[in-house]
Structure 1
Amino acid sequence: RWVLIISPINRYVAFASLFFILLSITTFCLETHEAFNRIINKTETVAVANGTTTQVALEVETEPFLTYVEGACVIWFTFEFLMRVCFCPDKLEFVKSSLNVIDFVAILPFYLEVGLRGLSSKAAKDVLGFLRVVRFVRILRIFKLTRHFVGLRVLGHTLRASTNEFLLLIIFLALGVLIFATMIYYAERIGADPDDITGSKHTNFKNIPIGFWWAVVTMTTLGYGDMYPMTWSGMLVGALCALAGVLTIAMPVPVIVNNFGMYYSLAMAKQKLPKKKNRHIPRAPQPGSPNYCKPEGAPGPRPGPPTADACPLAQEEIIEINRAGRGPRALPHGDPSPAPCPKGIPAPCPAPRPAPR
């Protein structure tokens, strides 16, 4: 029996992948700090009507060592991505995976930015500006941690299983936002000054769309305080909006919590199961090997049913099969007919052992 041991290698690769993911995210955050950015004067030659002229433009440049660190991380991610592409048995399923799409989208902008950095055309500069904006995709690498942490996988399964509950929550919230934004708009006009034609000089609720933001913040119990009612009627509507928001959010949440508890218990139980070892299963005897038995009626120099001498290991193999419980099942009690022998095995073949009670 051969045991395939690859778990230590997988563990080292997982640790390396986790290290580069955290390093890449740290680099991404440090690039936005002013301590790691410097302003440089960049001289450019611009074409004008009478010829060319030189202009000096200010440009923000990141410290080079952060770029080198990000390049090392991208090299590792590229190597990891290519290895998974090469050894993936189903390429179509690999392409459909959202994590693999995130990996590709996070890697591609770095190579495009390096390739276009030396160009001075306006189109190249526009592309570089777009790629710098798309750098935020690199933060999506945090989702790669789901391959190494059970808790993140449980969270993903919970979100997928709770799609209907989230949709229901969004519908309830949208209805409440629409109703209470309309109510607060008209409630604030009850105490308006008679000389105010628009009725909105004393309040921030100038129109109903502005009230959408206030309704969302109030129903989700955030309460930023940037907008609030000024009249007694508006305060009454605000209190009703807050109570309705609590009830709206409280209804679908227990279902989502139950889904999370179910997947979490399943993941913990799966971790406690004994790990299966991959054993080497011997192949069936091939033609030409000493253990190969010619089937009954096969053409050849010795046609006809095989004899016991032709298949010296046949009886031993049948005995091992019966011992393992994989042989022909015995007939019900009272049936006098014996179980048939396997194809290619001469009678009498050994009877299967009865299962212990």
Structure 2
Amino acid sequence: LGLKIVINCGGIRHETYRSTLKTLPGTRLSWLTEPDAYSNFDYDPKSDEFFFDRHPATFAFILNYYRTGKLHCPNDVCGPLFEEELAFWGIDETDVEACCWMNYRQHRDAEEALDSFETPEPDAPEDDPALTGGADGDLKRLCMQEDGRRTTWWDVWQPKMWALFEDPYSSKYARYVAFGSLFFILLSISTFCLETHEAFNTIYNKTENVTVGNVTHEEIVYEVVTDGWLTYVEGVCVIWFTIEVMLRVIFCPDKAEFFRSALNIIDFVAIVPFYLEVALSGLSSKTAKDVLSFLRVVRFVRILRIFKLTRHFVGLRVLGHTLRASTNEFLLLIIFLALGVLIFATMIYYAERIGADPDDPTAAAHTNFKNIPIGFWWAVVTMTTLGYGDMYPETWSGMLVGALCALAGVLTIAMPVPVIVNNFGMYYSLAMAKQKLPKKRNKHIPRAPQPGSPNYCKPDALAMATASPHRLMGNVLGPGMVGSGSMMGTGDCPLAQEEIIEINRAERKCDGEDEAGRNEGRKERRSSRTSSGVGPVLQVEQGLDGRRCCEHCHLRSLVSFSLNISQ
């Protein structure tokens, strides 16, 4: 064997030393230095080179990692593409240098943001006969499910009715319902605001007999009564919201999750007081009057219906995601303001007492800052640059403290705000991109590998992969397996890293794996790779562990993966 080795990646030839490839044992390139590499990989004896049909631009960075020991990622390559290349070559992503880590993770942040704006794909087109009726709809209702059970009326209409009220973009009927809901929300909020205007209220006075001890006398009681037509309009709105909530509860696929939603809780809290008020309006007891007074105060909950507009306007959803993503920045802003308020309220209290009249020890006539808690209000107003003018310093020392307080407030608020603005811009651009993306109803399915192709699947491997895709690791990566008449362990597989990215992505979507757990798993895989040299296979095994996906989402990749091992 020569000291040098030639690798042709995507048509571009790279030449390096064999000792360079041995610096990272257990990776795909390190296996090229083994004696049996000429039979396991695509080797051309005429040109004396190994050929890989992979992305040539990213391979230069990966090969440079073997030379320098530092892994950098290119700026002109999409993050998921570089992630797939790392997985193919058997390199752990945690080896990426700190200077490139944020750029490398940028695609994951974008994917998570896009997932938060994910809208369920409609089960049928807008003119679906199953929703509008017809012969095709009857056939769908009479068809059999995959498990052999006959499709019931509930199986057909439950997802359609749920999408009708939950997803405004699922069909044209869902848009009609969304417009109706939007109309009644705005009408209810307008009615709530008009009820407080004096033009729509009439003051009535009536006499009541009041008994104090043994003496009974009459008292004049003034009562404000809202115009009746506003009450009727509110009643119509409540009837609409009641029907909407009842249908959403009936057709909801997850009742527990439904009642945990903040918007659904707002619906119930805004509807119930109206019915209680109607039921108790005819009673004249003192308890009923007290309850009615309380219910009238609770009316302000109706204004919270404005948050239901988040289902119809992307901008409001973007604002909500921005607030949640900027929690740390808001906490930092509150801490900065709290420190500034405490410091400047104390300083203004003592600064205003410089030169005070000795005959007035409390300085009540000399200054408005009679104590430090009152100075809290002044400090908040000054730091936020509002300046109501109800309290102001009168001494030169107090004016100096006020100037410092205003400058500190401007600097304090200006520091976290750009981060919040950047979060809003990122979420808004991603939301707009999500809306402009075409809906993928039928994904392109590649043609099955033909005989002679490196990924051609033998019948026995196909049967093994399709028999139990969830238990693939137990069947394939056992102590050994029969493949082409020989026993083969996990460490002999040169193509075990092919499907790691797809599997890990499925894990993050299905299991909601947090970042700390992923980092811990990566460290374990990295230590296992460097110690035993079988890191890629162990990474596949850990990636498959605990995965809960449907039996078809990774079937094609698992078939190819099982064939590589069996060979």
Shorter-chain TM range is: 0.7 to 0.9
Aligned to 1:266: 430
1:32 aligns with 2:196: yes
Aligned to 1:42: 206
Instruction: Assess, with a 3 A threshold, how the Cα gap between structure 1 residues 103 and 231 changes in structure 2: closer, same or farther.
Output: same
The SS at the match of 1:235 is helix
The SS at the match of 1:236 is helix
1:97 aligns with 2:97: no
Aligned to 2:335: 171
- In structure 2, distance between residues paired with 1:66 and 1:237: 53
1:108 aligns with 2:272: yes
- In structure 1, distance between residues paired with 2:394 and 2:372: 16
Give CA deviations for 1:143-201 in whole Å, capped at 9, x if unaligned.
11100000000000000111111111111101110110000000000031222221231
Aligned to 1:133: 297
1:156 aligns with 2:320: yes
Give CA deviations for 1:56-114 in whole Å, capped at 9, x if unaligned.
42111000000000111111111111111111101111111111111111111111111
Instruction: Assess, with a 3 A threshold, how the Cα gap between structure 1 residues 277 and 241 changes in structure 2: closer, same or farther.
Output: same
- In structure 2, distance between residues paired with 1:335 and 1:206: 83
- In structure 1, distance between residues paired with 2:214 and 2:287: 23
Letter in 1 for 2:263: L
Aligned to 2:236: 72
TM-score normalised to the size of structure 2? 0.50
Whether the 8 Å contact between 1:158 and 1:259 is mirrored in structure 2 is yes
- In structure 1, distance between residues paired with 2:228 and 2:456: 87
Per-residue deviation at 1:41?
2.4
- In structure 1, distance between residues paired with 2:214 and 2:348: 62
- In structure 2, distance between residues paired with 1:341 and 1:255: 52
- In structure 1, distance between residues paired with 2:245 and 2:456: 63
- In structure 1, distance between residues paired with 2:259 and 2:457: 56
Whether the 8 Å contact between 1:4 and 1:278 is mirrored in structure 2 is no
Whether the 8 Å contact between 1:39 and 1:60 is mirrored in structure 2 is yes
Whether the 8 Å contact between 1:330 and 1:339 is mirrored in structure 2 is no
- In structure 2, distance between residues paired with 1:324 and 1:253: 46
Q: Pick the aligned partner of 1:11 from 148, 154, 175.
A: 175
Per-residue deviation at 1:277?
4.8
Whether the 8 Å contact between 1:27 and 1:66 is mirrored in structure 2 is yes
Letter in 2 for 1:25: I
1:227 aligns with 2:374: no
Instruction: Assess, with a 3 A threshold, how the Cα gap between structure 1 residues 205 and 49 changes in structure 2: closer, same or farther.
Output: closer
Whether the 8 Å contact between 1:106 and 1:137 is mirrored in structure 2 is yes
Letter in 2 for 1:97: S
The SS at the match of 2:203 is strand
Per-residue deviation at 1:268?
0.4
- In structure 1, distance between residues paired with 2:437 and 2:176: 23
1:144 aligns with 2:308: yes
The SS at the match of 2:221 is strand
Whether the 8 Å contact between 2:450 and 2:456 is mirrored in structure 1 is no
Letter in 2 for 1:27: T
Instruction: Assess, with a 3 A threshold, how the Cα gap between structure 1 residues 342 and 61 changes in structure 2: closer, same or farther.
Output: same
Letter in 2 for 1:131: L
1:212 aligns with 2:333: no
The SS at the match of 2:399 is helix
Identity over aligned pairs, percent: 77
Higher helix share: 2
Letter in 1 for 2:321: H
Letter in 2 for 1:101: I
Letter in 2 for 1:119: L
Aligned to 1:305: none
- In structure 1, distance between residues paired with 2:451 and 2:348: 80
Instruction: Assess, with a 3 A threshold, how the Cα gap between structure 1 residues 332 and 194 changes in structure 2: closer, same or farther.
Output: farther
Give CA deviations for 1:287-337 in whole Å, capped at 9, x if unaligned.
xxxxxxxxxxxxxxxxxxxxxxxxxxxxxxxxxxxx95475x568857999
Aligned to 2:245: 81
Instruction: Assess, with a 3 A threshold, how the Cα gap between structure 1 residues 152 and 252 changes in structure 2: closer, same or farther.
Output: same
Whether the 8 Å contact between 1:42 and 1:57 is mirrored in structure 2 is yes
Letter in 1 for 2:383: M
Per-residue deviation at 1:275?
2.9
Give CA deviations for 1:13-66 in whole Å, capped at 9, x if unaligned.
111111111111111111101111111123445566559766542111000000
The SS at the match of 1:88 is coil
Letter in 2 for 1:4: P
Q: In the TM superposition, what are the counterparts of 1:186-335 in structure 2 within 5 Å?
A: 186-277=350-441, 324-325=445-446, 333=453
The SS at the match of 2:353 is coil
TM-score normalised to the size of structure 1? 0.77
Q: CA RMSD in A?
A: 2.8
Instruction: Assess, with a 3 A threshold, how the Cα gap between structure 1 residues 47 and 337 changes in structure 2: closer, same or farther.
Output: closer
Aligned residue pair count:
300
Structure 2: gaps (5+ residues)? 1-122, 127-169, 464-567
